Structure 1
């Protein structure tokens, strides 16, 4: 007979030497054979590496019987998956069903019929190989899926940064503004997550997407004329009307991108929210829609505070950076008018963290 796995290791367990001899002589031409004359010895031999590929286990043995051996094999992670065929003189259907019910892959009665034993061993080894192949394939597929997801996320993040830099190139802000506001947004969201009122909305996945989307909040500035965007002094009322359109322009641009997508892209939905509504105010005096209170999505309410704080402490061509404490007072004074009170409370409670973020990503020309 040509066995499927010529180097497979078979462990034969039987307390009678003559039975071991019969099975050993039958299997040795095809397999590497190990033997054990008791349940205790069987457990020791089963743990010798390389582990057996299959165990032929006698049921009726003095001391530890086959069922007890089988139970310990299954309880140990290193031997749990080794297929076991019970070999016994009990030929009742009840005994066979019991053996199969506890988890054995097959049940052979004595006296053994050599061709049947060889055929069943061959079948079980083929099945074992198939299971291992599928397990390896599944492991490879999981690794590949993870790798591709990470690659897609990286591409997504790089694309977002590239788009955000388009706005920055024409504005006085720098790439550090992106890093700071991203970190502020994440910190605020994580703080709010501990509030039962926000726990359901601010899931870990949502916070990750929100943080990733944050750099697109001012993408609409690419549509603002240079004369206004880069003006070194105060804007006129007419210029300010034009400047405020960047919220709508950014929202519309992302909306067009959403329409082109074959299916919904969650981070684009969040990016559209923060682009359109991060200049809304809690009391309804913001723009572009004059939303009041929590009519503004939480994503934009978080972005609003993050963006204002960073604008206050950052240098511009028309102003010097403001000291952190002074910016903190302005944010606090805006509690319930400009900003969501809950968002302000998180900011105040973690103000030291925000200062550390600002220092970590400080603009090279900033002296605050």
Structure 2
């Protein structure tokens, strides 16, 4: 992919052979090297094998020997592997998301994973890892965020969920107003609702991605359930996706992730 000078390495930790093949088919188009571990113990052995290790881990949690929660805790407790992003991918319901984040996971997706969502999350975490290795520790940054939605309540929700004092927000209702706000304020990221008062969210995302000046602008796509399938061929312009109705912890996590990406891109660009 264009964001990487060379392919990166993803460790897939999954005990079910069919699920491994599904995951491999979803990830192969990204062009990265894929490694496989059948359980948590094999994953930890792979990470401690020496030499260049994986750049990211995609972890199931229900596995024999050592489950994914404990494996994730071990990865994050070891200074040598703590900075490797871990994405938990599981069909386990109930409190699986909370338990994953409590174990130190960087991200969480329920099975069956939407291919576009999985691909954009993987690409974003790998981009952040690549940039982090070049910049070192991050200083706090207050991002500028354009929120584009036909629903004025969405801006209020994003502000309340991420924090009114944590960012500077600009509102837009349609495609033309969004373009104007981006040109006027040069935001760090765009929160783009598929519901706009005029124009097309897809056309806008493609146009921004094809613009030399704005191709790296992180876009967080807000969509209705089932709507993401219509974006299946548009993974490049989108850095993350968030299903409506918005839930505070997830909105905060998604905006924070892309704010971090934007800040790293700016630091590397200034270096």
Normalized against structure 2, the TM-score is what? 0.47
Q: Which structure's relative contact order is higher, taking Cα pairs within 8 Å and 6+ residues apart?
A: 2
Q: When you count strand as a share of all residues, which structure comes out higher? A: 2
Q: Decide which structure has the larger Cα Rg and report it.
A: 1
